Structure 1
Amino acid sequence: MSAAPGPAQVAEKFAAAFGQAPDGVWSAPGRVNLIGEHTDYNDGFVLPFAIDRTAQVAIRLRADNTARLLSGYGHQGVVSLEMATLSPETMKGWTAYPLGVVWVLRQMGVDIGGFDLYLDSTVPTGAGLSSSAAIECAVASAFNELCGAGLTANQLVLVGQRAENEVVGAPTGILDQSASLLATGGHAVFLDCRTQESRLVPLDLAAAGLLVLVVDTKVTHAHATGGYAARRASCELGAEVLGVAALRDVAAADLAVAAGLLDAQTFRRVRHVVTEDQRVLDTVAVLADAGPAAIGALLTASHASMRDDFDISCDELDLAVETALANGALGARMTGGGFGGSAIALIPAAEEPRVRAAVVRAFADAGFTAPDIFAVSPAPGARRVL
């Protein structure tokens, strides 16, 4: 994967496209969810960290009511529309992410007129690393500053979530935007998705001689498709039958009773969420007591739960996890919404060449598309960079 262009390069590309310098450049990262999958929309706990792969947007406000958008990563041509026509129905393809944020901010009373926008991103799309949230958070941060909206980071999280839910049509929680907006370097973000309270948890992988290796399986997923929505519907059904506001309110000790009240599939969905919430809490405690080298078993147990109870893994993800574990990984799991995307492996830094080579060989032997493999480290959150 290529390194992100610097902010000055993004500004130069903007000027080449639109004929003037931008008012500024803003950056927001993708994320790896260390643990806590499909717990966010169940009012539960998550532990993501921002990664050193970012979306950058250069923006200049216009005196008229025309919006012009250009993407620098694989999309051709400037998309232009009049702000008076802006609605969820007029936003298609990649523009739904930046324009969705603009639409939400305008719905909230933020005075956004015309603008030019250039987008460049090195967060791989469809890989479960929150490429969409990175775009949303960069755009939200930019207009929050340019228009003097004065919104807090937590408010901007909800702006991005609303854009996903109401414009893109993906029924996501607040995990992705929270990681992108609240993170700092060298830390994970421990987030209570019910209260939106968060705290930073030290995750100094380098000091422990560790790294997180991402294996992008190249099996593309999309939150707006049916699998994600079906899992959410199962969770809502489980909560309704169990008489709780959300699965956050079900304890592990309640699962024996739940098994007698739910059909087999719904019970497995519920069991994943309940046990995953506990794994997040356990991971935070272990990080504080023993450091990152001790969390591997929790990561691996999380993958087994997603594979067997939540049914969101796939052959490529399972192979990546199994191969990494067989070649020195301390723990491994799929990350993101599932049905494709990426796996992560927590490995001693010295084992990186061995794990990389083993995964590439395993994918070739299985006849799978060659994966993209890269290391990530906990990085800063959304901010102005020029």
Structure 2
Amino acid sequence: MTVSWRAPGRVNLIGEHTDYNAGFALPFAIEQGCTATVEARHDDVVSVASRQQDGPVEASIGRLQPGSGGWAGYALGVVWSLAESGRELPGLTVEVDSDVPVGSGLSSSAALVCSVATAVDDLLDLGLDADEMLALTRRAENDFVGAPTGGMDQLAALRSVESHVLFCDMRSLTTRAVPFPLDELAVLVVDTRAEHQHAGGEYRRRREGCEEAARRLGVSALRDVAPDDLDAALARLDEDELRRYVRHVVTEDERVLRTVDLLDAGDSRAIGPLLTASHVSMRDDFRITIPQLDVAVDALLDAGALGARMTGGGFGGCVIGLLPTKGMDEAIAAVEAAYDRESFTAPRCFPARPSPGAHRTP
């Protein structure tokens, strides 16, 4: 018996680097995703193959070690986490097939992890509830692979709803589907082709910096710094780097909440300036943008986008723009022309519509 599940990549509409600060985020699933097909074996070996990689990676369940497996570690980490929890598992043959661009900031890793986890849960009839599934997938990425993700990517892959964005409270790990009407509007994704690495030192540096700032301010997480108290909090910090991190996180949380209010009121057009303000904050305060990202944002705004921002962990990846559907072709042409002038690698542009989360496939 084989079972197949598909989990999507995601675009984060707004709310960047807020997840590990116990704050708020607003992602949505995209059509691109990863399909995992799993089958039980008669030994204790886990064999992971990908249509996008050379050769399978195989390991005994009892000998799985965090940090091993390379790209396959995201799948092996699911099995390792289940085994560490005391579950008796058979060997498994896992085949994955993904069309999420790797290194693009669209969460190809969470799509892989969540597709494997949901397929294994179904195949073995484990009966994992929503909270257990989230914990499993986070542990696979954080503890086995060593990628310090905050959990928002997994929530988006598991719980997204078609035609909605997913309002995520990263302290309680509760979510709410918020309607995202796109009548005569579109979300354009610009894949800059500048790859980033989530497990890299710059991501970790900012996470550790946020944790240090929270410690010095006497709060459990930066989410606890109220917008009205931001100036006083910044005055208590004597390092410019930490002040910049705090300012970004506190104002980004506020932008997420304002965006949710506008979408609840059915006013998708009005969120544009908030998206742009988010990018400015990531560029000037959190300092996680690169020229390819900034050029794409400026080109989209010059071409009539209502708002544009980097999405993902930063230092590469994708930009999103909210624009009138009738202006899509002109916006793409503007970005391509700007990249040509800068001698950047040609970008890949495509529209994204809010899609469903993980689901079983035929």
DSSP-derived class of the 2:275 partner: helix
Q: Taking structure 1 as the reference length, what is the TM-score of the superposition?
A: 0.92
C-alpha separation between the residues in 2 aligned to 1:294 and 1:148? 45
Query: For 1:132-151, what aligned pairs fall within 5 Å after superposition?
Result: 132-151=109-128
In the alignment, is residue 70 of structure 1 matched against residue 49 of structure 2? yes
Structure 1 segments unaligned to the other structure (5+ residues):
1-21
Taking the aligned partners of 2:129 and 2:178, their CA distance within structure 1 comes to 21
After superposition, where does 1:276-315 map in structure 2 within 5 Å? 276-315=252-291
Within 2, Cα distance between the matches of 1:232 and 1:27? Answer: 30
**Structure 1 residue 253 corresponds to structure 2 residue 255:** no
In structure 2, the partner of 1:184 is 161
Distance in 1 separating the partners of 2:112 and 2:231: 42
Q: Counterparts of 1:23 and 1:92 in 2: how far apart (Å)?
A: 23
The aligned counterpart of 1:39 is 18
Distance in 2, matches of 1:236 and 1:80, equals 37
Q: How does 1:1-386 map to 2 (within 5 A)?
A: 23-73=2-52, 75-89=53-67, 91-205=68-182, 208-262=183-237, 263-386=239-362
AA aligned opposite 1:148: D
- Secondary structure at the counterpart of residue 119 of structure 1: strand
**Percentage of matched positions with identical amino acids:** 50
Q: What corresponds to 1:6 in structure 2?
A: none
Deviations 1:336-381 (A, max 9, x none): 0101110000111110100001101100110111111111100000
- Check the 8 A contact 1:154/1:178 in 2, yes or no: no
Task: Give the match's secondary structure for 1:295.
Answer: helix
- Report if aligned partners of 2:61, 2:79 keep a CA contact under 8 Å in 1: no
**Aligned-residue RMSD, C-alpha:** 1.0
Shift of 1:281: 0.3
Alpha-carbon distance in structure 1 between the residues aligned to 2:235 and 2:307: 33
Counterpart CA distance in 2 for 1:318 and 1:120 is 32
In 2, the alpha carbon distance for the partners of 1:82 and 1:290 equals 52
Q: Give the counterpart letter for 2:197 in structure 1.
A: A
Which range moved further: 153-162 or 131-140? Answer: 153-162
Give the Cα separation in 2 of the matches to 1:92 and 1:23: 23
State the match for 1:13 in structure 2: none
Relative to structure 2, which stretch is displaced further, 168-177 or 288-297?
A: 288-297
Letter in 2 for 1:125: V
**Equivalent pair of 1:24/1:58 in contact (CA under 8 Å):** yes
Q: Secondary structure at the match of 2:109?
A: helix
- Provide the rounded CA distance (Å) in 2 between the counterparts of 1:105 and 1:113: 11
Question: C-alpha separation between the residues in 2 aligned to 1:123 and 1:149?
Answer: 27
Letter in 2 for 1:288: D
Q: Distance in 1 between matches of 2:172 and 2:81?
A: 22
Structure 2 gap ranges (5+): none
C-alpha separation in 2, matches of 1:87 and 1:185: 37
Q: Distance in 1 between matches of 2:197 and 2:110?
A: 13
- The alpha-carbon deviation at position 248 of structure 1 amounts to 0.7
Give the drift of 1:84: 2.2
Cα-to-partner distance string for 1:166-213 (whole Å, 9 max, x where unaligned): 1111111110000000011101110100001111000121xx211111
Tell me by how many angstroms 1:81 deviates: 2.0
Distance in 2 between the 1:87 and 1:362 partners? 46
